[in-house]
């Protein structure tokens, strides 16, 4: 954990410096590119023993793609229906036979997408804090969650067309995310949530919806697995999975919920959007004791919240209260990181790299 904390503290300080000089376009661009390259290399040069999912299927999928006779053979005999992920493996295998090249490209895509969002919305939120929140909550855990982290970052960047009212681009990006991890299907409902957030009856309607989901949870999972929205072969694993409720995640979700209730926001639709996403996030976290996939689904509300919350905080008129909220935001994610690190951070601790000579 000490190694990761050292990296993160250094990264946060570096990010604040870079976004402080954002008006110098050349230095800002070079600084962001250097940041992306560093974290791409850090993740790309790790050993294949880092991350549970990398050991379970990551290495297998890459070598399956590497030794496929053709693209058609790859698709026809694919071990997964998440074709975006397997195609990325295939493209990387054409360029290099080393799995570390694939890991590098994956990390490069993810951190680049996060930085694109931070830079695009730099006038609407604190980009340094957004990227820091991503690093603390998602980055190192992403060494294990290979497919879903790619899907999550694509969903994060889909906020750009969504906020700009370009529904087609948004849906195309969500569909692309779904090809990497089928749990991204939940993002197809975000435009509906966005529309509802403008209505006074949104909260009662959402409450009724969640009650029905809870009542018919097993039937819903059977439907989703049968329709191909989630992988059928995973359905048994998702039922009564024994996943413990993540208290650190609940703390963040509950804090965001309280923020939406007690902190004023002149944009009522955004305030309700935060409220609704917080409710959904907490609901899926509590459902995780029944379905493992519910825990995974809660990440999609979190990836939305880490950006939208900062947009709301940025509109607080009182400078000291705005700074206080930003501090609490960072503190929450630091607490989460420490707690998760003490539980192994999805098998990513300790960091080792034979290439870098880190044992």
- Per-residue pLDDT tens digits for 310-357: 999 999 999 999 999 999 999 999 999 999 988 888 888 989 999 999
Q: What is the pLDDT of residues 230-285, one digit of tens each?
A: 554 444 444 444 444 578 899 999 999 999 988 877 788 788 889 889 999 998 88
Q: Using a pLDDT cut of 70, give the percent of the chain over it.
A: 91
Q: Give the mean pLDDT of 289-303.
A: 84
Residue among 88, 84, 51 at smallest CA distance from 66 = 88
Peptide bond before residue 350 is cis, with ω within 30 degrees of 0? yes
Domain boundaries, the chain: 1-144+344-359
Q: How confident is the model at residue 289 (pLDDT cuts 50, 70, 90)?
A: confident
* Cβ-count burial 199-237 (b if 16+ within 10 Å, e if not): eeebeeebeeebeeeeeeeeeebeebbeeebbbeeebee
Q: What is the 3-state secondary structure (H, E, C) of 162-184?
A: HHCCCHHHHHHHHHHHHCCCHHH
What is the DSSP annotation of 259-308? Answer: HHHHS--S-HHHHHHHHHHHHHHHHHHHHTTTBHHHHHHHHHHHHHHHHH
* Cβ-count burial 272-286 (b if 16+ within 10 Å, e if not): bbbbbbbbbbbbbbb
Handedness of CA 345, 349, 354, 358 (dihedral sign): positive
Mean of the per-residue pLDDT values for the chain? 88
Give CA angle at 182 (168, 241), nearest 5°: 150
Dist CA 31 CA 15 (whole Å)? 9
């Amino acid at each position: 954990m000490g190694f990761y904390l050292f990296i993160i503290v250094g990264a946060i300080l570096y990010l604040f410096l870079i976004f402080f000089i954002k008006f110098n376009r050349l230095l800002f661009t070079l600084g962001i590119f250097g940041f992306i390259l560093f974290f791409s290399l850090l993740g790309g040069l790790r050993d294949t023993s880092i991350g549970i999912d990398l050991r379970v299927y990551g290495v297998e999928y890459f070598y399956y793609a590497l030794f496929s006779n053709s693209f058609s053979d790859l698709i026809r005999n694919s071990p997964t229906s998440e074709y975006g992920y397997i195609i990325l493996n295939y493209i990387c295998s054409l360029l290099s036979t080393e799995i570390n090249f694939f890991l590098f490209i994956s990390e490069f895509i993810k951190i680049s997408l996060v930085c694109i969002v931070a830079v695009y919305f730099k006038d609407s939120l604190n980009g340094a804090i957004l990227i820091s929140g991503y690093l603390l909550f998602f980055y190192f855990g992403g060494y294990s969650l290979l497919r879903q982290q790619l899907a999550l970052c694509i969903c994060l960047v889909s906020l750009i067309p969504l906020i700009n009212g370009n529904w087609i681009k948004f849906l195309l990006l969500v569909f692309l995310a779904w090809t990497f991890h089928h749990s991204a299907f939940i993002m197809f409902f975000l435009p509906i949530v966005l529309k509802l957030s403008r209505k006074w009856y949104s909260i009662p309607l959402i409450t009724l919806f969640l009650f029905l989901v809870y009542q018919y949870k097993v039937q819903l999972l059977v439907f989703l697995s049968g329709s191909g929205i989630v992988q059928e072969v995973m359905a048994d694993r998702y039922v009564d999975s024994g996943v413990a409720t993540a208290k650190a995640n609940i703390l963040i979700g509950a804090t965001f919920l309280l923020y939406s209730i007690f902190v004023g926001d002149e944009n009522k639709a955004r305030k309700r959007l935060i409220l609704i996403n917080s409710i959904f996030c907490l609901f899926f976290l509590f459902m995780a004791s029944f379905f493992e996939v519910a825990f995974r689904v809660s990440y999609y509300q979190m990836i939305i919240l880490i950006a939208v919350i900062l947009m709301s905080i940025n509109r607080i008129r009182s400078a000291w209260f705005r700074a206080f909220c930003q501090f609490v935001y960072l503190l929450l994610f630091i607490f989460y990181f420490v707690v998760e690190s003490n539980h192994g951070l999805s098998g990513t601790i300790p960091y080792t790299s034979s290439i870098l000579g880190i044992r």
